[in-house]
Structure 1
Amino acid sequence: MAASVCAFILALYALCGSAAGSGGLSAPTHVRLTSYNMDLVLRWDPPEGTTDVLTYTAEYRSLATGYNNGCTNTSALKCEFTSSSITVHGNYTGRVRAHRGAESSSWVESNVIVMDRHTFIGPPDVTLHVTGTSLEVSIKDPVFKHSELRETYTSATYNITYWKSSSKEEVETMSDMMQDRVVLSDLDPLSEYCVQVQIITNMNPRPSEYSDVVCERTGDVDAAPWVAAVVAFVVMATVVALVVTLVVYWKQISKFLCPEVVLPPHFKESLLLNDPNSIYPVSLPSEHCDHVSIVADHRTEEEGGCSTQPDTSQDGG
Structure 2
Amino acid sequence: MLPAPTNVSIVSFNLEHTLTWLPGPGTPDNTHFTVQSLRKNSWQLVKGCARLKTSQSCDLTNTFKDSFYHYKARVQAITTTQKSNWSLSMPFNPLTDTLLGPPVVSVSGCGNCLLLQVTPPTSRGLQHSLSPTQLLYRQFTCKVRRTRDGSQFSMWVTSTEKTVIGYLEPGAEYCVTVTASTSFNPHSVPSEPHCAFTSPTAANTGTVPGPNSTAKRPHSVVQHSNTALVNQSYTTGTAIILHQCLHLLAIIVRNPWCLSVPQCLWF
Q: TM class, shorter-chain normalised?
A: 0.5 to 0.7
Question: How far is 1:40 from its partner?
Answer: 2.6
Alignment of 1:237-256 (within 5 A): none
Distance (Å, rounded) in 1 between the aligned partners of 2:4 and 2:146: 54
Deviation at residue 202 of structure 1 after TM alignment: 3.1
Residue number in structure 1 paired with 2:148:
166
Structure with greater proportional helix content: 1
Q: What SS does structure 1 have at the residue aligned with 2:96?
A: helix
CA 1:195 to 1:126, structure 2 compared with 1: closer, same or farther past 3 Å?
same
| Sequence identity (%) | 25
CA-atom RMSD, angstroms? 2.6
Q: Which runs of 4+ in 1 moved over 6 A?
A: none
User: What is the letter of the counterpart of residue 175 of structure 2?
Assistant: C
What letter is aligned with 1:197?
V
How high is the TM-score relative to the length of structure 2?
Answer: 0.68
Larger RCO, structure (CA 8 Å, separation 6 or more) = 2
**What is the CA-CA distance between 1:155 and the residue it aligns to?**
8.4
**TM (normalized to structure 1)?**
0.58
Task: For residues 143-173 of structure 1, give each alpha carbon's deviation from its aligned partner in whole angstroms, at most 9, with x where no partner exists.
Answer: 35133875461783111101111222x2110
Q: Of 168, 174, 178, which aligns to 1:197?
A: 178
Structure 1 CA distance for aligned equivalents of residues 136 and 52 of structure 2: 38
Partner residue, 1:66: 43
Query: Is the Cα–Cα contact under 8 Å of residues 153 and 202 in structure 1 kept in the other structure?
Result: no
Partner of 1:217: 197
- Deviation of 1:209 after TM superposition, in Å, equals 0.9
Q: Match for residue 86 of structure 1?
A: 65
Is this contact kept in 2: 1:95–1:109, CA < 8 A? yes
CA distance in 2: counterparts of 1:156 and 1:104, whole angstroms: 46
Q: Specify the alignment match of 1:303 in structure 2.
A: none
Unaligned residue ranges in structure 2 (runs of 5+) = 210-267
Answer with 1 or 2: which has the greater Rg: 1
Question: Are 1:88 and 1:152, in contact at CA under 8 Å, matched by a contact in 2?
Answer: no
Give CA deviations for 1:191-239 in whole Å, capped at 9, x if unaligned: 11100001111322x1421011111122112112129x9xxxxxxxxxx
Find the counterpart in structure 1 of residue 234 from structure 2. Answer: none
Query: Among 203, 206, 222, which residue is 1:226 paired with?
Result: 206
CA distance in 2, matches of 1:51, 1:57: 15
Q: Which residue of 1 aligns with 2:9?
A: 32
- The one-letter amino acid paired with 1:192 is E
C-alpha distance in 2 between matches for 1:217 and 1:57:
55
Q: What are the residue-to-residue correspondences of 1:175-194 with 2, within 5 Å?
A: 175=156, 177-180=157-160, 181-194=162-175
Contact 1:42 1:78 in 2 (8 A): yes
**What letter is aligned with 1:131?**
C
